[in-house]
Amino acid sequence: MRLTQLIYTSRPFGFDESVLDNILLSARANNARRGITGALICRADLFMQMLEGEREAVTGTLARILQDDRHVDVAVVHCGDAAERLFPDWTMRDDPPQSWMWSQQQVRAGAARDATAAEVLAVFRRLATLPRAA
């Protein structure tokens, strides 16, 4: 199996804690069945998600996300082969806002859209080193 990592950004539509909880519950159940791991960085103004797994499973998941009306302006920032998973023990890790790196003003100005693949990979590599929340 060839391991693929895909990172996309989107703007949440109708974001609140219950929407986030539903996304995480659904992602964790579906990803476990499909052999996908990853992480979702989420705020009221931005989603940025890494999906890791077999290429067909990852691209199939992205296709479902593209049809999900909770996501607006979905953009793939990175897609490529990887030697190993960053989140092998997480069907979907969520990131607390305090570990975030861009301000709301920077997001509105296009920071996520303008970020390079190396920059977004660095964000997820940093998240992978943070301890699990208690």
The rounded percent of the chain whose pLDDT value lies above 70 is: 94
H-only helix segments in 7-46: 17-34
**Rounded mean pLDDT of 82-110?**
83
Fold of 3-129: Alpha-Beta Plaits (3.30.70)
Please list the residues that pair with 59 across neighbouring strands: none
Alpha-carbon dihedral angle through residues 4, 48, 113, 120, given to the nearest 10 degrees: -60
- Residue 24: helix, strand or coil by DSSP? helix
Tell me: the pLDDT tens digits for 14-68? 777 787 788 888 889 999 999 999 999 887 788 899 999 999 999 999 999 999 8
pLDDT at residue 134, rounded to an integer: 47
Under the phi-then-psi rule, with left for phi > 0, alpha for psi from -120 to 50, and beta for the rest, what region is 73?
left
Task: Return the structure tokens found at 81.
Answer: 């082969």
Which residues have C-beta within 8 Å of that of residue 81, sequence separation ≥ 6? 2, 3, 4, 5
pLDDT range class, residue 84, cuts 50, 70, 90: very high
Q: Give the C-alpha distances (Å, rounded to integers) separating 82 from 4, 31, 63, 90.
A: 6, 18, 21, 17
Mean pLDDT computed over every residue of the chain: 87
